[in-house]
Structure 1
Amino acid sequence: MGNGNKVEMLLAICAVITSAVAVFIAWDQGRVMRAQQHGAVYPVVQIEGFVSSNDTIASMGLRLSNSGVGPALIERVDMLKDGEPVDSLAPYIDHFPPGYQQSWSSLIGRAVAPGSEVEPLRVDWPREAVSVAERNAAAAAWSELDVEICYCSVFNRCWIARGLGMGTSMSRAEPVKRCERSETDIFEAVANQFRPLQTEPTPEVE
């Protein structure tokens, strides 16, 4: 093999190596760019129970917030007892002292913007209508339940987050491949299970 052929072969090997390095750099830059894109829309969902009161109102409920930098697409919400889904919240609603007013918000399919909060369940009493002991007893019954939420980013990266009962914080979200959309919203279903606010009967007009 002449010197010319050796030079040509060396140049060909260098060209192959250069092409391989260029492909690797392009792949690595694409990977970094994708990571930056995902990081720019990374949602962090937290749900926790709350119990509060002021001079006029005593309250308890659940609060969901997104402390991330991208919208959280809520796909599934389950209430769990000892790790198993609960079919109905009626037994826990029965622990609420009478005389309350309730509000609720559906979560399934909701996009929670960064920095936003949603209260899927809230119960209020006039301050004089419920004692601290009654409210704490109701909160203790609800603290037996865990809340599990499956949510995704706009790039379809998904996580499961779990909250632990009324008045306690949730654990760190765990990544999952995908979220199965819930067929029903347990907080929408619970609206029909509340006892109405007790009022004095309206006298009949003769």
Structure 2
Amino acid sequence: MGTGNKVEMLIAICAVLTSAIAVFIAWDQGRVMRAQQHGAVYPVIQIDGFVSTSVDTASMGIRVSNSGVGPALIEQVRMLRNGEPVASLNLYVDRFPSGYDLSWTSLIGRAIAPGSNVEPLRVDWSRDDISGDQLGAVAAEWSQLDAEICYCSVFDRCWITRGLGMGRTMGRAERVKRCERSEVDLFEAVANAPRASGTETISEVE
């Protein structure tokens, strides 16, 4: 092989290596940019149960908040007891002491903005209608339940998070491939269920 051929081969090899390095750099930059994009819209859903009292009222309910930096698209909500799905919340609601005001809002298909929170279920009593022992008993019964929410970012990255238990510590969200949309909204079903007593008020909160 002549000197000219060697030089040409060396140039060709250098060109191939340069092209390969350029492709790798472009791929790596694209990967970094995608990670930055996902990080800029990363939602973090937290679920809390709350009980509060004042001189005039007693309240309890569920609060769902987004402490991330991007909107959370809620696709599936389940209530669990001992790890098994609860088909309906009506049994638990029917055990409330009478005279309550129940407020609800749908979660399925809702987008929760960063820093925002939603109360899918809230119950209020006048202090004349419920004693401290009754409120404690109701809270203890609801503390046996856990909420499970499957939600996605605007880039269709999805997670499942679990919480509630009226103060029980919530673990980190678990990445999943996708969320199956719930066919039934448990909180809307509560609002539509017939009540035995006429003293309760039910309203939807937007």
- TM-score where L is the length of structure 1: 0.93
Which residue in 1 is equivalent to 2:98?
98
Instruction: Quote the Cα distance in structure 2 between the aligned partners of 1:159 and 1:193.
Output: 30
Q: Which residue of 2 aligns with 1:59?
A: 59
| Runs of 4+ more than 3 Å apart | 193-197
Q: Is the 8 A contact 1:47 1:169 kept in 2?
A: no
2:131 alignment partner in structure 1: 131
The match for 1:155 is: 155
Shift of 1:194: 6.7
- Quote the offset at 1:10 in angstroms: 0.6
Tell me if the contact between 1:95 and 1:141 (Cα under 8 Å) persists in the aligned partners: no
Aligned partner of 1:113 in structure 2 is 113
Cα contact 1:104–1:122 (8 A) shared by 2: yes
For residues 55-110 of structure 1, the C-alpha deviation after alignment (integer angstroms, 9 at most, x for no partner) is: 11100000000000000000000011111111111221133111110000000000
Shift of 1:197: 5.6
Q: Quick one: structure 1 residues 66 and 194, their matched pair in 2 at CA, closer, same or farther if it must change by over 3 Å?
A: farther
CA positional deviation for 1:144: 1.0
Give the CA deviation at 1:133. 1.0
Cα distance in structure 2, aligned partners of 1:171 and 1:72: 18
Using the TM superposition, name which of 14-23 and 128-137 deviates more.
Answer: 128-137
> What is the percentage of aligned positions where both structures have the same residue?
72
Rate the CA distance shift 1:133–1:91 in 2: closer, same or farther, 3 A: same
Q: Which runs of 5+ in 2 are unaligned?
A: 201-206
Aligned length: 199
Distance 2:72 2:190 in 1: 23
More moved, 12-21 vs 89-98: 89-98
What amino acid maps onto 1:198 in structure 2?
A: T
TM-score of the pair, normalised by structure 2 = 0.93
Unaligned runs of 5+ in 1: 200-206
Higher mean C-alpha deviation, range 159-168 or range 179-188: 159-168
Distance 1:53 1:197 in 2: 24
Q: How does 1:1-206 map to 2 (within 5 A)?
A: 1-193=1-193, 195=195, 196=197, 198=199
Secondary structure in 2 matching 1:128: coil
TM-aligned CA distance change 1:39 to 1:197, over 3 Å: farther
Structure 1 Cα separation of the partners of residues 194 and 51 of structure 2: 18
The amino acid of 2:49's aligned partner reads: G
